Amino acid sequence: MDKLLISGGTPLSGDLRVSGAKNAALPILAGALLSEGAVTIGNVPHLHDITTTMELLGRMGVHLVVDEKLNIEVDASTIKSFYAPYEMVKTMRASILVLGPLVARFGRAEVSLPGGCAIGTRPVNLHLQGLAAMGADISVRNGYIHATAKRLKGCRLVLDQITVTGTENLMMAAALAEGTTIIENAAREPEVVDLADFLNEMGAKVYGAGTDILEIEGVQALSGKGLHYNILPDRIESGTYLVAAAMTGGRIRLKNTRPDLLDAVLIKLREAGAHIDCGENWIELDMRGQRPKSVSLRTAPYPAFPTDMQAQFTAMNCIAEGTATITETVFENRFMHVQEMQRMGANIKLESNTAIVTGVSRLTGAPVMATDLRASASLVLAGLVAEGQTIVERIYHIDRGYECIEEKLSQLGAEIKRIPS
């Protein structure tokens, strides 16, 4: 397995182009299953999770054409199988996103249950309850979800808990259902809005995306024939590089990003002492060589502080001035990075779902590894400020969600290289 070797201590400096959002590309690729004509998706990030999704769709018989700029043309008219096997779903939980479109358009699906993951139990009960309320016949046998339906029927759904992929699955199912579906307590994440925009471009009638009540008037058919839809920029990738620059006392300018989607993160970076300027599609952060001040935060669904940025801010607090608390409310076990940071000399106490971090003046390099995507990225950030060498192992987690992380960081002056296995 590849590793990253990092020599810490260089302030990041320079310009960086942000990639398309993984968490929008995954539901939109699944949403292409709903289209009667071939649809093209652009600004797709070059990531393992995208390759996995393409393999999943390809195995179903969906015809995919990829050009050199990673525009992906998806034609679901050749579909032959409605099956998502365990060996694919276990490597990428977001595979569950094919469930709603398959049942809505083809009337059947057999999708492996995702099971637990490193950051918590992560059930999909709300996806299944919602589809059942729309009239799907659902059973779970031998670890697989079996779903069938003639035509789904619109209904009113009140989600017990805010769920991003759950909202997306149900929105896609409702787009082809008979009648109107109301989803209350829906996720408001920008990626949910991007999916709604994509579906609407194909003729769907989704209203209220970005609020907590979605109204979806079902239509007979959707067609993305001739449509070229560009995925929105990745707000988590943007946030990760901003934190990296802040931690190293550097100055960077992000291009092709969306500052309006990062309010909660930018507020916290300013609180940490960063000077931030923004335009419509760029963000500039300058730490003027200063050490960051520690910031307390609490994760929650959008528009509050994203759980996907929690590990990176934990890393920043490790070397910041002062003590701060970080409370995780979305996933029950998302502090796997803490023990590894302690091995690098961090002063962190864990009390239930809160990490109390007192900044130290220096971390020290060490071999480390993490068990999920954002935790792995946070260890890279810690390595950028640590004295000596840090080796981050199991970086296949990072490759799932960050496009060419070592190239992008090198471009900003970091001393980082990939050691192939």
End-to-end CA distance of the chain: 5
Does position 216 interact with ligand UD1 (CB under 6 A)? The reply is: no
CB of 93 to ligand UD1, least distance (A): 6
State which residue, 61 or 303, has the beta carbon closest to ligand UD1.
303
For ligand UD1, which stretch binds (CB under 6 A), given 122-130, 147-155, 244-252, 384-392? 122-130
The nearer residue to ligand UD1, 75 or 328, going by C-beta atoms, is 328
Interface segment toward ligand UD1; rule CB under 6 A; list 34-42, 66-74, 157-165, 409-417: 157-165
| Interaction between residue 262 and ligand UD1 (CB under 6 A) | no
Least distance (Å) between residue 366 CB and ligand UD1: 26
Residue 117 falls in the annotated catalytic set: yes
Q: Which among 65, 206, 182, 193 is positioned nearest to 133, based on CA atoms?
A: 182
* Segment near ligand UD1 (CB under 6 A); pick from 105-113, 124-132, 376-384, 405-413: 124-132
Beta-sheet pairing, 108-112 with 83-84: parallel
| The CA-based dihedral angle spanning residues 313, 317, 322, 326, taken in that order and rounded to the nearest 10 degrees | 50
For position 402 contacting ligand UD1 by CB under 6 A, the verdict is no
Q: List, in sequence order, every residue forming a beta bridge with 7; answer none if it has no partner.
A: 389, 415
CA distance 246 to 291: 8
Residue 193 is a binding residue for ligand UD1 (CB under 6 A): no
Q: Which of residues 341-400 bind ligand UD1 (CB under 6 A)?
A: none
Provide the pairing of β-strand 137-141 with 156-158.
unpaired
Of the pair 180, 185, the CB lying nearest ligand UD1 is at 185
Q: In the set 57, 60, 94, 109, which binds ligand UD1 (CB under 6 A)?
A: 94
DSSP string, 353-383: TEEEEE--S-EE--EEE-SSHHHHHHHHHHH
Q: Which residues pair with 282 in a beta bridge?
A: 255
Radius of gyration of the chain (CA): 21
- Among candidate residues 117, 155, 278, 404, the one labeled active-site is 117
Spatial CA neighbour of 224 closest among 77, 78, 54: 77
Interaction between residue 163 and ligand UD1 (CB under 6 A):
yes
On whether the CB atoms of residues 245 and 251 are closer than 8 A, the answer is yes
Return the residues of window 101-120 that contact ligand UD1 according to CB under 6 A.
120
From the list 48, 127, 337, 400, which residue makes contact with ligand UD1 (rule: CB under 6 A)?
127
Question: Footprint of ligand UD1 on residues 297-316 (CB under 6 A)?
Answer: 307-308
Q: What is the residue whose two structure tokens read 């920008």?
A: 190
166 binds ligand UD1 (CB under 6 A): yes
Among 122, 253, 291, 394, contact with ligand UD1 (rule: CB under 6 A): 122
Cα–Cα distance list, 131 to 12, 154, 160, 200, 222 (Å): 47, 10, 14, 21, 19
User: What six digits make up the tokens of 56?
Assistant: 């999943």
Residue environment code for 70-82, b if the CB has 16+ CB neighbours within 10 A, otherwise e:
bbbbbbbeebeeb
CB of 229 to ligand UD1, least distance (A): 17
Nearer to ligand UD1, 139 or 161 (CB): 161
Q: Min. distance of Cβ 144 from ligand UD1 in angstroms?
A: 17
The number of residues that bind ligand UD1 (CB under 6 A) is 21
Residues in region 19-38 near ligand UD1 by CB under 6 A:
23, 26
- DSSP-assigned beta bridge partners for residue 111: 84, 145
CA–CA separation, 353 vs 297, rounded Å?
12
Beta bridge partners of 415: 7
Contact window for ligand UD1 (CB under 6 A) among 13-21, 156-164, 225-233, 362-370: 156-164
Residues in the site for ligand UD1, rule: CB under 6 A? 23, 26, 93-94, 120, 122-127, 161, 163-166, 191, 307-308, 330-331
Task: Enumerate the active-site residues.
Answer: 117
